[in-house]
Structure 1
Amino acid sequence: MSIIKGGLLDRRGFLKTTAATAMAATLPLGGAAYAAPKRGGHLRVGKGHGQTTDTLNPGTWENGFTIGMAFAIHGRLTEVAPDGSLQPELAESWEATADAKTWTFKIREGVTFHSGKPLTPEDVVASLNFHRGEDSTSAAGPLVAPIENMKVDGGNVVVELSGGNADFPFILSDYHLTIHPAKDDTIDWESGDGCGSYILKEKNFGVSITMERNPNHWRDTVGFFDSIEMLALVDQNARTTALVSGDVDVVDRVDLKTVGLLERNANLAIHSVAGTQHYTFAMSTNQAPFDDNNVRQALKYAINREEMVEKILFGYGSVGNDIPVGQGQLYYNTELEQKTYDPDKAKFYLKEAGLDSLEVSLSAADAAFAGAVDAGVLFQNSAKAAGIDLKVVREPNDGYWSDVWMKKPFSAVYWSGRPVQDQMFATAYSCGADWNDSFWCHDRFEALMVEARAELDPAKRQEMYFEMQDIVSNQGGVIIPMFANYVFATSNKLKTPEAMGSNWDMDGERWAERWSFA
């Protein structure tokens, strides 16, 4: 029987350009030289995310605060390495049948949860089942929906899919798919009992959490801090002030307006990592006027993308083309015509919609992304020439993701992207997906997604993904004007790796495991 084995499925070509860029770009623009890791110290992290409505339920995690927490206190079956390859974590190895429909994962022995309970294959099955089923409200529901059956076979978990999926092990690295203790036909997520390198000690969502190093973690090559305090500092000024004053050791989402000043501070190091992060404006296609693709196209041509990269990202990024796929990713559509600012073309599409003008409101807040309100104002100004009156509504930061995102018909959003296209599309573009923030549904796109997922011929798969990107760009409900580098700042007291992950912010959100004090 032919098999696809874990360890061979490392996609050395995956994110080739992005990984190379990340490795070159993550060297500090200033600061201490690289030194060997040492243990000890209390790390203080200022996150530009976090809200009072956050929970320990893995199906609800949606922002950088909860993602950072998830990677610190929990484990997953697989993990994405800094170079973009896939590495074993709680799954020691894996293999699949030739059609990639049946996957067998060997569960690592000798792993215990923070409570002392040993990790078992039954915990893995229960943790994946938590996100499955018609009644599931988990954001990871679409990712595990293709699972038809799971069973324990000795120390292995055997997963049977409805169709072939060559990317399935990559999907299991998703931050929602953490492994928890099985309990009463479900999982115990309320206690925060994980098997990660840090133990959750106190939580006050919207304010802070504290964690301590797990002395019984199954590997001693990660987790160098004695303790960590992660603070929700959504306000840009408060976050920057905390860094400069030394109240925190690291902040994400550096204010790009003042990054030049921070670079002059001899006590700080600025890091810029190119990856899959993109900033978007999501339109509810189930509501007028966004239910008309001509209106959506008009808005896509009424935005000045180059101006946004220059004035919002200050050059720390690149122009987007309304697809959630980075230029360095596998199967990126190199033949797709790049949209540019064209008021006349925007007017043409308005006329096709039977309109001479258009009035819409755009909701934004810094919780969406740093400079989101300013980006809205730039959009407002560029849209005027197309006869579009775009009103920018400044929303509160706290509760933005629960009260505004997917509630208001036109809103600013940030996405960290996903390692593979199928995962990104299934999460945010598949019909009925919980995080499909444009409520968009396209029959041809759905059919191609299923076909591409099971197709093992690279040439045929590329052809399908090229067409899917064309559909999303020209018929989808999301405007993606720019891809933003991950820009974060650290105290020179910290030692960071020479090469950092680019699949999420701050070293792929594995900072708790990979960083140390110098």
Structure 2
Amino acid sequence: MTTHDEMARLLAMGRIGRRDLIKGAAALGAVGAAERVLGRSAMAATPNKGGALKVAIGAGSTTDTLDPATFTDSYMQSVGFGGMRNCLTEIDNTGKLVGELAESWDASPDAKTWTFKIRKGVTFHNGKSLTAEDVIDSINHHRGEDSKSPAKPLLAPITSLKADGDNVVLTLEAGNADLPYLLSDYHIGIMPSSGDGKVDWKSGAGTGGYIIKAFEPGVRSFLERNPNYWKQGRAHFDSVEILSIIDVAARTNALTTGEVHLMDRCDLKTVHLLKRNRDVEIYDVTGTQHYTFPMLTNQAPFDNNDLRLALKYSVNREEMVQKILRGHGKVGNDTPIAPATSFYAELEQRAYDPDKAKFHLKKAGAEGLTIDLSAADAAFAGAVDAAVLYKEHAAKAGITVNVIREPNDGYWSNVWMKKGWSACYWGGRPTADWMFSTAYEAGVAWNDTYWEHEKFNKLLVAARVELDEAKRTDMYREMQTIVRDEGGVVVPMFANYVGASSTKLAHDKLAGNWDMDGHKAVERWWFA
């Protein structure tokens, strides 16, 4: 008779399907074993309503607000984007772009004019019906002259924004085939208009699956299910409590003791031990997330590209992936475009080379360099350890790295983009243009190296409107080469999303565009 271990082996080989495994397990009385092979989600295909979900997020700050223009990390992304609000479009769990508050959309042949049909019958948590005006004012919330929203550069090409009945018509200064993707950005949640061209963000009212009932920045958020949610088959929990628990040991303890049901960013040093817990399921998803060390190129000594190259040659990327990610990721090449992203260019891989580092140090006139590197585990799990490992690598190139361990609280407001060299993580973006426009285009709010490169910026604009696929591919390849060789960021590794949940939870296929099922776990998951 075939054992459940043999069935698991056959499944891995593709010799049997998931349905065969479940049927076979039932015949053997080994349903529990099948659950461990497939995950609880496969054994509970029909979502159940009810229950109080508790989530632990390894981010959050006392400076957090309900204004989506201020969202900087995974905590507010889960609360505001995953729970409270909807966007015009959504990237689903298969990576496909689908309509959310936009029922459909059409573009002119030159991709300059876009018409979005706004979904009817949708109401905000305060009872107001969704209108085109709400959409227009929500988009304009990020476009103001004084706006510091990271979404501002994404929306800057809009020259006209108007209502046409139930439709919203956007006209761009130049064509952009990626516009519907951009409007799925977690900052651009739709809020109720206050009637004066502005929106009400302070109340937290949205059209999402959950209504905010309590908000303690940097501590907890409590949400209750929206009884009038328009999206069928979503928002299954009666309530959701999202806790900011930055310390990974505390998050893990909260999960194993049953205090929470779901946590992000497992400690990769101990995740193998967590896997042994029969009440816990680990998720490990490959996406666009990458860990970086940005340098402020608008100040010395990082304004010298030879010095930047010296630091790029001074890190052993393979060892970083093995020791920091425990193999749960891929080696980076100083560009943010992930292998799974369209227009990814397979450039020659930069290797650890202390001699080349010394060569560039000498060219920069910086032999015997001593430099500070700020890090905190708020940046990414293991960031401090990664900085210490970087220090060991750089020592062989004659570089002394002083690792500055920064406080977790306030890291994003007090260290990132403020201190010369620091640790950072990016969830990545679904398209090359989106990633570059968010963090590499000159002058954008989240250009965390303050890097400016004339040719790169010209190519960015040209590639955005180029309809010839081959020409666009060549442009993005050149842009990635420029960032790798002249940019101000070290990208040593792409990290898988690794989190854990109680086996009481169930879900469908997990999205890879961001962590926690695209930050939509509170909407998509359920209790089995």
Q: What TM-score bracket applies, with the shorter chain setting the length?
A: over 0.9
1:369 to 380, 396, 408: 380
Alignment match of 1:67 (pick from 77, 82, 87): 77
3-state SS of paired residue (2:422): strand
Residue 129 (structure 2) aligns with: 118
Q: Cα–Cα, structure 1 residues 466 and 28, in superposed 2: closer, same or farther, change >3 Å? A: farther
How far off is 1:399 after superposition?
0.4
User: How far off is 1:237 after superposition?
Assistant: 1.2
Alignment partner of 2:477 out of 466, 478, 493: 466
What is the CA deviation profile of residues 294-348 of structure 1, one whole-angstrom value per residue up to 9, with x for unaligned ones?
A: 00000000001001100000000000001111111111002x1111100001011
Aligned counterparts of 1:118 and 1:85: Cα–Cα separation in 2: 28
CA contact (8 A) 1:45 1:250 kept: yes
Question: Does residue 1:34 correspond to 2:34, yes or no?
Answer: no
Residue pairs, 1:99-498, within 5 angstroms: 99-183=110-194, 184-334=196-346, 336-497=347-508
Distance 2:36 2:301 in 1: 46
Larger RCO (CA within 8 A; separation ≥ 6): 1
2: CA distance, partners of 1:456 / 1:29 = 44
Return the offset for 1:144.
Answer: 0.4
State the Cα distance separating 1:453 from its structure 2 match. Answer: 0.6
- For 2:87, the equivalent position in structure 1 comes to 76
Query: Structure 2: 5+ residue runs without aligned partners?
Result: 1-17, 19-34
Taking the aligned partners of 1:29 and 1:383, their CA distance within structure 2 comes to 42
Supply the distance in 2 between the matched residues of 1:495 and 1:244 (Cα, whole angstroms): 17
1:86 corresponds to which residue?
A: 97
Partner SS for 2:223: strand
Q: AA paired with 1:237?
A: A
Letter paired with 2:295:
M
Q: Secondary structure at the match of 1:393?
A: strand
Q: Which residue of 1 aligns with 2:516?
A: 506
Distance 2:305 2:434 in 1: 25
Deviations 1:172-198 (A, max 9, x none): 000000100111221110110000011
What CA distance in whole angstroms lies between the structure 2 residues aligned with 1:415 and 1:29?
Answer: 31
Change (3 A) 1:138 1:479: same
Supply the distance in 2 between the matched residues of 1:384 and 1:210 (Cα, whole angstroms). Answer: 47
Letter of the structure 2 residue corresponding to residue 371 of structure 1: G
- In 1, Cα distance between equivalents of 2:181 and 2:325: 29
Secondary structure (helix, strand or coil) at the match of 1:186 reads coil
Q: CA deviation at 1:456?
A: 1.2
* Structure 1 residue 34: Cα displacement: 2.7
Q: How much is the aligned-residue C-alpha RMSD, in angstroms? A: 1.2
- Alignment CA distance shift 1:315-1:28 (3 Å): farther
Task: Measure, in 1, the Cα distance between the counterparts of 2:37 and 2:416.
Answer: 35
Q: Alpha-carbon deviation of 1:451?
A: 0.5
Q: Normalised by the size of structure 2, how large is the TM-score?
A: 0.92
SS at match of 2:473: helix
Q: Distance in 2 between matches of 1:220 and 1:512?
A: 14
Q: Secondary structure at the match of 1:212?
A: strand
After the TM superposition, which parts of structure 1 deviate over 2 Å for at least 4 consecutive aligned residues?
27-34
Greater Cα radius of gyration, structure 1 or 2: 2
Q: Conserved in 2, the CA contact under 8 Å of 1:197 and 1:217?
A: yes
Q: Percent identity?
A: 57
Gaps of at least 5 residues in structure 1 are 1-23
Whether the aligned pair in 2 keeps the contact of 1:198 and 1:212 (CA below 8 Å) is: yes
- Of 54, 58, 61 in structure 2, the residue corresponding to residue 44 of structure 1 is 54
Whole-Å Cα distance in 2 between the matches of residues 413 and 355 of structure 1? 25
**SS at 2:492's partner residue?**
strand
Question: Does the CA-based 8 Å contact 1:431-1:439 persist in structure 2?
Answer: yes
Compared CA separation, residues 28 and 446, structure 1 to 2 (3 A): farther
2:287 alignment partner AA:
G
What amino acid sits opposite 2:365 in the alignment? G
Distance 2:483 2:43 in 1: 42
Distance in 2, matches of 1:295 and 1:46, equals 40
Structure 2 distance, partners of 1:456, 1:68, is 35
Aligned residues: 491
Matched to 2:310, the amino acid is A
User: With structure 1 as the length reference, what TM-score do the two structures score?
Assistant: 0.94
- Distance in 2 of aligned mates of 1:432 and 1:179: 25
